[in-house]
């Protein structure tokens, strides 16, 4: 069971989707379609519209992102300072998980980071 520390950000029920969106917005303001394309480019993940917009609403409510005024019908979003801090903390936690997993694969399974036998 996962417990939450006081430093761990609350990225909602699907932290992977939230972190993909926050990472995309760390590169600058984007509207929904631009977010989908950027995430697909850097992560190889295609976010369905329902998943994207549900996550955007949760991130808005949490103050991790904000909507940007636009004359266009598209609604751009940007990362807030709180969102940047939450993303940094989440990525720090994920880095530790990756390190631990890779180390255990090398020791227990003789696998390299690319999945090849050592």
pTM, 2 dp: 0.83
Tell me which of 3.90.1150.10, 3.30.465.10, 3.20.20.120, 1.10.10.10 is the CATH number of domain 15-109: 1.10.10.10
Tens digits of per-residue pLDDT, 15-53? 899 999 999 999 999 999 999 999 999 999 999 999 999
Q: Would you list the domain boundaries of the chain?
A: 15-109
Phi, psi of 65 (to 5 degrees): -135, 165
Cα dihedral sign, 99-101-107-112: negative
Report DSSP letters for 42-56, one per residue.
HH--PPPHHHHHHHH
Report pLDDT for 117. 66
The Cα–Cα gap between 74 and 90 comes to: 29
48 contacts: CB under 8 Å, gap ≥ 6: none
The string of pLDDT tens digits covering residues 40-90 is 999 999 999 999 999 999 999 999 999 999 888 889 999 999 999 999 999
Alpha-carbon span 74 to 69, nearest angstrom: 10
């Amino acid at each position: 069971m996962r417990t939450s520390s006081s430093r761990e950000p609350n990225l909602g029920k699907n932290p992977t989707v939230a972190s993909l969106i926050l990472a995309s917005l760390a590169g600058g303001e984007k509207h929904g379609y631009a977010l989908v394309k950027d995430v697909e480019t850097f992560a190889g993940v295609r976010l369905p519209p329902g998943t994207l917009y549900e996550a955007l609403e949760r991130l808005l409510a949490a103050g991790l992102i904000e909507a940007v005024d636009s004359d266009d019908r598209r609604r751009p979003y940007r990362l807030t300072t709180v969102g940047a801090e939450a993303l940094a903390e989440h990525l720090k936690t994920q880095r530790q998980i990756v390190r631990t997993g890779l180390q255990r694969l090398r020791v227990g399974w003789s696998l390299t980071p690319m999945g090849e036998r050592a």
